[in-house]
Amino acid sequence: MRRSPALAVGGLILAIVLVLGVAAPWIVPYPTTEQHMLERLKPPGARFVLGTDQYGRDLLSRTLVGTRPALLLGLGAVALGLTVGVPIGLLAGYAGGRLDDVVMRVVDAMLAFPSLLLALLIITALGASTGHALLAIGVANAPGVARIVRSATLSLREAEFVLAARARGERHLYVMFGEIFPNVLAPVVVEATLRVGFAIVAGASLSFLGLGVQPPTADWGLMIREARQYVFVSPWPLLAPGTALAITIVAFNLFGDGLRDRLGAA
Partner 1 sequence: MARYALRRLPSIALILLLVSAIVFVAIHVLPGNAATLILGEYATPEALRTLEREMGLDRPLVVQYASWIGSVVTGDWGVSLAMKQPVATVVGYRLRNSAFLAAAALAVVIVVGIPLGTLAALRRGQPLDLAIVTATYVGISIPEFVTGLLLLLVLAGPTLHWLPTSGYTELASGVAAWARHLVLPALTLTIVLLAHVVRQTRSGMADVLTAPYIRTARLKGASTRRVVLRHALRNGLLPTITVLALDLGYLMGGIVVVEEVFAYPGLGRLIVYAVQNRDVPLLQMCALVVASVYVLANFAADLAYAWFDPRIRYS
Residues that bind partner 1 (CB under 8 A): 105-106, 108-110, 112-118, 120-126, 197, 201, 204-205, 208-211, 221, 224, 227-228, 231-232, 235, 238, 242, 245-246, 249-250, 253
The Cα-based distances of 6 to 157, 199, 220, 221, 257 in angstroms read: 33, 20, 25, 26, 7
Cβ at position 266, least distance to partner 1 in Å:
14
Nearer to partner 1, 30 or 198 (CB): 198
Nearer to partner 1, 178 or 210 (CB): 210
Cβ at position 15, least distance to partner 1 in Å:
18
Nearer to partner 1, 184 or 202 (CB): 202
Give backbone dihedrals phi and psi of 52, rounded to 5 degrees, phi first. -130, 165
Cβ at position 91, least distance to partner 1 in Å:
19
Name 120's Cβ contacts closer than 8 Å, sequence gap at least 6. 136, 206, 211
What distance in Å separates the CA atoms of residue 48 and residue 61, rounded to the nearest whole number?
A: 9
Cβ at position 31, least distance to partner 1 in Å:
26
Nearer to partner 1, 103 or 175 (CB): 103
Closest CA relative to residue 73, chosen from 245, 265, 258: 245
Inter-residue contact 92 to 146 (CB < 8 Å): yes
Q: DSSP secondary structure string, 194-214?
A: HHHHHHHHHHHHHHHTTSSSP
Q: Nearest 5 degrees, angle CA 202-CA 203-CA 207?
A: 115
Cβ at position 210, least distance to partner 1 in Å:
7
Dihedral sign, CA of 248, 183, 101, 173? negative
Cβ at position 178, least distance to partner 1 in Å:
33
Give backbone dihedrals phi and psi of 71, rounded to 5 degrees, phi first. -65, -40
The Cα-based distances of 198 to 44, 82, 100, 229 in angstroms read: 30, 14, 27, 26
Nearer to partner 1, 184 or 224 (CB): 224
Nearer to partner 1, 175 or 224 (CB): 224
